[in-house]
Structure 1
Amino acid sequence: MQLNQKGITLIEILVTLAISIIGIVGLSTLQVQTHRAVNDSGNRSQAIWLLEDLTNRIHLNAAAAANYDGNQANVCNSAPTRVCSPYHNGNSVVNAVSCNGSEMATWDLYESLCDMNSIVAGSDVTKSSPATAIANPELTVVVDSANNNETTLTLKWDSRTEAENADGTKVYITDENLTGSSNNSTITYKASLTTVFIP
């Protein structure tokens, strides 16, 4: 016995709709994860640029390497009194003055980490430092004078895809709350990059 079916039943429509919704939700989740990964990748690129720039600056000012030492969390609170290298403020070039090694170290850290307040006519936003493009950067410089001034630069920044647990182990996250915890241990949602060199 053969049935002549015409059209689509309501059940077939609901099954098709359910399958389509599952696919669309999966694609939107993938897009969110991709967006997070792209942002973190951009932060990492800027961090590499910043550390390479600061490494070169310390190499050029090797005699005053010890002046770079310390946690640089407050370096942007006040501008140095001496401008040790010329820069463009958006309208004109700000000329440099002669600086000693200590003043150059202070200037190098400020210029590398802080926004130089450059305003370019016709632009909405002007970024004058790689640090202004990194999410909440934290730089630590350790100069070991007992070991030929071996210098360790560590830059940490906010991350949406990688973190570090209390033991210092890298943890890769997908959807957890940025202030949450996992397995009863606190997780710090920071990515980091370290370079070690002798100036």
Structure 2
Amino acid sequence: MIEILITVLVLAIGILGVASTQVVSLQMNSQSQSRSQAVLLAEDLLDRIRANSDNPGDYALAQDDAQGADGGGCATSFVPANATVAANDIAAWENSLACLLPEAERTVAVDPLTNVVTVTIDWNQNDQAMNPVVVRTQI
């Protein structure tokens, strides 16, 4: 009888170990997905700036929360209607950022002398030791 109890105890400990491994795996997968989304969003904005390379300074944004559609968060049927291409690009990009990475903060720095653009995206992560995504390129 004691052998059965010991076997059940060992089996239960093994199952708990497998379950905890699965939980950690899901957390890492979620963090990886968020990081990939941030990189893709940064590259998307840089592509928009390259397409409008005559005015890279118009894309500079101070560090702030992503506002989304008209400052109201994520809008699934968002159509920007601003006066300039840069303003439309920023509005559409911020809406995508608000939809894909809620509570994200973004900074876009443009060096007018070298045309180096730095896009920084930070979001609420469970692991505070992870660094924000920073993508830098010369336009």
Match of 1:149 in 2: 115
* Runs of 4+ deviating beyond 3 Å: 96-99
Q: Rg bigger for which structure?
A: 1
Aligned residue in 1 for 2:77: 89
Paired residue total: 135
CA drift of 1:194 comes to 1.1
Q: TM-score, normalised by structure 1?
A: 0.59
Instruction: Give me the identity figure in percent.
Output: 29
Summarize the alignment of residues 1-199 of structure 1 with structure 2, pairs less than 5 Å apart: 10-71=1-62, 73-74=64-65, 76=67, 79=70, 89=77, 99=83, 103-114=84-95, 129=96, 131-146=98-113, 148-160=114-126, 162-164=127-129, 191-199=131-139
Q: Give, in angstroms, the shift of residue 159 of structure 1.
A: 2.2
In the alignment, structure 1 segments of 5+ residues that lack a partner are: 1-9, 81-87, 115-128, 165-189
- SS of residue matched to 1:73: strand
Opposite residue 192 of structure 1, the aligned amino acid is P
**Residues in 2 aligned to 1:72 and 1:104: alpha-carbon distance in whole angstroms:** 21
TM-score normalized by structure 2? 0.81
User: Kindly tell me: are residues 193 and 77 of structure 1, through their superposed partners in 2, closer, same or farther at Cα, counting changes over 3 Å?
Assistant: closer
Structure with the higher fraction of residues in helix conformation: 2
Q: Gapped runs of 5+ residues in structure 2?
A: none
Aligned alpha-carbon RMSD (Å)? 2.7
Distance, in Å, in 2 between the alignment partners of 1:21 and 1:112 is 49
> Relative contact order (C-alpha < 8 Å, sep 6+): which is higher?
2
